[in-house]
Structure 1
Amino acid sequence: MAQLASLLKAEIVRLARKEVRAELQALQKASSRYRTELAALKRQIKDQQRQLAKQAKSGGRAKPVSSDTAGEDEDNPRLRFRASGFATLRKKLDLSAADMGKLVGVTQQTVYHWEKGQARPRASQLQNIAAIRKLGKRGAAAKLAEM
């Protein structure tokens, strides 16, 4: 009888830990998403404060800039990144993850993380990706051979 009670207790503890682990993972994902959103909002506030300071310096003569185009220049357009688009680009250029990593200047593992949506490239890496988008298969192969 005592053995049955200890087995039952052990099973209850195991199931409780399993449930807690599942809940904890969901909370960690939500927390990570919230931190990302907060960082984006902080960047947006910083950009808007810079614009206000510019307007104050020019005496309010500068035209207001919408939040959609904040931080954009004609020379440096706002670059976007989609994991599926990046994976499609790599397949279109017929490159392995290692080769794509060499072109962008990152590791093969980083390329996989970008494609799975587990990570996002930095601004400098986005510029490299934008340059690669303009290449065709031959151009990408030539650039790899050059390296």
Structure 2
Amino acid sequence: MPNIASVLRDEIIRLTRKEFRQQMEPLRKQLLVQRKTITSLKSDIDKLQRGIKALAKGTRKSGQVESAPTTPTTRKRFSAGGLRKLREKFGLSREAFAPLLGASAQTVYNWEQQGTRPRPEIIEKIAILRGMSKRQVLAVLDQHSSPPTKSTKRTPTKNGQKPPKKTGKPAKKKAMSGKSSDAAATA
């Protein structure tokens, strides 16, 4: 007759394994799904890294920086001669044209001489100006020009001397060197 203790022990082991398999089966399925997801993500990362390397090599060869994905897909063209012709069409000097673009006159000169290239935001502004008439541009310039301020520059007098600064104190009169006012009147 079999030993009851060994039979009981074997039955406990069998039931424990059965219960363990029931608990582990959903976890195994979940683990397989996660492994597949991780594998697909790794392949996506590899593809993206290869794409970045290819773009980096492409930009080095062409010497141009690719535009960010948030910028519009239609790219505006820029030419130095076109900028100069646009400025001349409006009859504006570089100093008067520069505020329309938010740049300095020297920067506009550099763009016209092909020394530098404007940023994409400036190229957008140039494209907007291309669609405007001379009257519209002058109206924009009038709107942005500040009202004339009082000049602090002193104008010279008849004899070429600058007038004295106004300080709130009465001005001192200069005495003639070596002569009294009576002697000067008789002479």
Runs of 4+ in 1 over 6 A off after TM superposition: none
- Residue 80 (structure 2) pairs with residue 83 (structure 1): yes
Matches within 5 A, 1:1-147: 38=60, 40-41=62-63, 43-44=65-66, 72-73=72-73, 77-147=74-144
Task: Please report the TM-score for the alignment, with normalisation by the length of structure 2.
Answer: 0.41
- How many residues align? The count is 85
- Structure 2: gaps spanning 5 or more residues: 1-58, 145-187
TM-score, scaled to structure 1? 0.51
Per the TM alignment, residue 43 of structure 1 is displaced from its structure 2 partner at its CA by 3.3
Deviation at 1:135, TM superposition (A): 1.0
Q: What root-mean-square deviation, in Å, do the aligned CA atoms of Structure 1 and Structure 2 show?
A: 2.4
Structure 1: which amino acid aligns with 2:139?
A
Q: Which residue of 2 aligns with 1:16?
A: none
**Highest RCO, 1 vs 2 (Cα 8 Å, sep ≥ 6):** 1
Question: Using the alignment, how far apart are the partners of 1:42 and 1:82 within structure 2?
Answer: 15
- Give the drift of 1:39: 7.8
**Cα displacement string for residues 41-84 of structure 1 (whole angstroms, at most 9, x for unaligned residues):** 5734x87xx7xxxxxxxxxxxxxxxxxxxx754xxx21110000
Identity, % of aligned positions: 33
